[in-house]
Amino acid sequence: MDIVYVFVNVAVFLLFAPLFQGVTRKITAKIQSRQGPPLLQPYFDLIKLLGKERMNSARNWAFSLAPLGAFAAVLTVAAMIPLGGKANFLTHRTDIISLIYMLVLGGVCVLLGALASRNTFALIGASREMATMIMIEPILAMTLILGAVKSGGLKLSSAMAPLGSAGYGIAAVLMLAVYLLALQAFVGRQPFDIAEAEVEILEGPFIEYSGAFYGLFKYAMMMKQMFYAFLFVSVFMPLPATGFGPADILIQLLGILVVFVLIAIIGATNPRFRIDQAVKFYAGLIAAALVAAVLAVKGF
């Protein structure tokens, strides 16, 4: 039965990630006094892109492997998490280390694609992406470690369990604040959409991509954003659990929706930072996250 939930996870992510994207776009449009695209536009975009020619403009295998790798890595992440508070087959057999590895793998695939495309703008984008990864992965790790400390195990099922049950505490509140501040960076939206920065480096790592390969990257990014929203909901939002699988998933999806609304609002009301400004900002967050983790260990 556990194995079924693995597929449920994957299906839910594949199905809902574009919807949340659509919500973000709609809200952004409203803030900008625009009509905005239809809510389902991201689905149309993906269908169109995936149906297009697979063009390997760099003529090497790494170029086509990168989007597949990124997509697979994010799907794996989706498969192993306890969606709806329900630990599945993979959740029992993995821990936070493997989760972080899979997330980093997704990022590395973006870098791989950028380097493989041998484009100046892609290279600048790659170096920015790398700086961002190095600076924000520790924050993610601290969040999970905090959960692990609170629950006493590295297992995903316990590390990603709601903090509310173990008592919120100073450490958890601090980490909540850090996570919220890092959220835009996790999902690559303003003010931290630095690696793609359209007007500067023309979507950076993805500049040479088109068609199905680009579609896969897009899809992977959407699911990655959904994962980070899910992580926030799962760890910091004490949602009521009904014990009935589909209902729990639905409640969590509503939570994720709230996070996406927040992402859209912050994204639409901020200009983009420069990478040097962002790195300074992340450094502060890492320090705060460390403090939170230490506090958690001390039992606060």
Partner 1 sequence: MLTPDTLKQTLETEFGPSGLTVDIPLPHRVYLDIPREHLRAAAARLIGLGARYMVGFGADNIERDGTLPLIHTFAFDRDGILAALRTSAPVDNPVFDSITPDIPNAGWTERECADLLGMTFKGHPKPKRLILADDWPEGIYPLRKEVPHNLVPPAAEDVAYQLDEAPPGTTVVPVGPFHASLHEPAHFAVYVDGETIKGCDYRGFMTHRGIEKLCQTQVSYNEVPFVAERICGICGSVHAAAYAQAVEEAAGLKISRRAEFIRTILLEIERLHSHLLWLGVAGHLIGFDTLFMQAWRIRERIMWLSERITGNRKTYGMIVIGGVRRDITPEIAKELRETLETVEKEVLEVKAAVLKDTSIHKRTKGVGFLTEEQTRRWSLIGPVARARGVDIDARRDHPYAAYDAVEFAVPVMDSGDVWGTVVVRILEVFESVKIIRQALDTMPNDGPLLTEFSEFLPPLRHGMSTVEAPRGESVHYVITGEENRPERWKVRAPTYANLQGVPDMLLNNQFADFPIILGSIDPCFSCTDRVVVIDMKKKSRTILDQGGLEKLARRPRSRRR
Question: Three-state DSSP class for 95?
Answer: strand
| Binding segment toward partner 1, per CB under 8 A, in 54-62, 106-114, 186-194, 244-252 | 186-194
- By C-beta, is 152 or 284 nearer to partner 1? 284
Does 208 bind partner 1 (CB under 8 A)? Our answer is no
Considering only residues 14 to 43 of the shown chain, the ones binding partner 1 according to CB under 8 A are: 28, 31-35
Q: Going by C-beta distance under 8 Å and a sequence separation of 6 or more, which residues neighbour residue 115?
A: 62, 122, 123, 126
Among 197, 223, 253, 286, binds partner 1 (CB under 8 A): 197
Considering only residues 222 to 261 of the shown chain, the ones binding partner 1 according to CB under 8 A are: none
Other C-beta atoms lying within 10 Å of the C-beta of residue 157: 18
Among 102, 124, 229, 233, binds partner 1 (CB under 8 A): 124
Which long-range CB contacts under 8 A does 185-188 form with residues at least 24 apart? 185/132, 185/135, 185/136, 185/278, 185/282, 186/136, 186/140, 186/225, 186/228, 187/224, 187/225, 187/228, 187/229, 187/263, 188/221, 188/225
Does 198 bind partner 1 (CB under 8 A)? Our answer is yes
For residue 198, the minimal CB distance to partner 1 (Å) is 6
Does 132 bind partner 1 (CB under 8 A)? Our answer is no
Task: Give 3-state DSSP helix, strand, coil % of the chain, rounded to 5.
Answer: 75, 0, 25
Binding residues for partner 1, total number by CB under 8 A: 30
Does 204 bind partner 1 (CB under 8 A)? Our answer is no
Query: What is the C-alpha to C-alpha distance for residues 260 and 280, in angstroms, rounded to an integer?
Result: 25
- By C-beta, is 155 or 189 nearer to partner 1? 189
For residue 19, the minimal CB distance to partner 1 (Å) is 21
**What is the token pair recorded at 216?**
């896969």
Among 53, 59, 199, 240, binds partner 1 (CB under 8 A): 199
Query: What is the C-alpha to C-alpha distance for residues 187 and 193, in angstroms, rounded to an integer?
Result: 8
Does 209 bind partner 1 (CB under 8 A)? Our answer is no
For residue 32, the minimal CB distance to partner 1 (Å) is 4
- Write the binding mask 270 to 299 for partner 1: x where contact by CB under 8 A, - elsewhere: xxxxxxxx----------------------
Query: What is the C-alpha to C-alpha distance for residues 180 and 97, in angstroms, rounded to an integer?
Result: 22
Q: Are 70 and 109 in contact (CB under 8 A)?
A: yes
- By C-beta, is 166 or 279 nearer to partner 1? 279
Other C-beta atoms lying within 10 Å of the C-beta of residue 48: 11
By CB under 8 A, name the binding residues for partner 1. 28, 31-35, 120-121, 124, 127, 190-191, 193-194, 197-202, 268-277
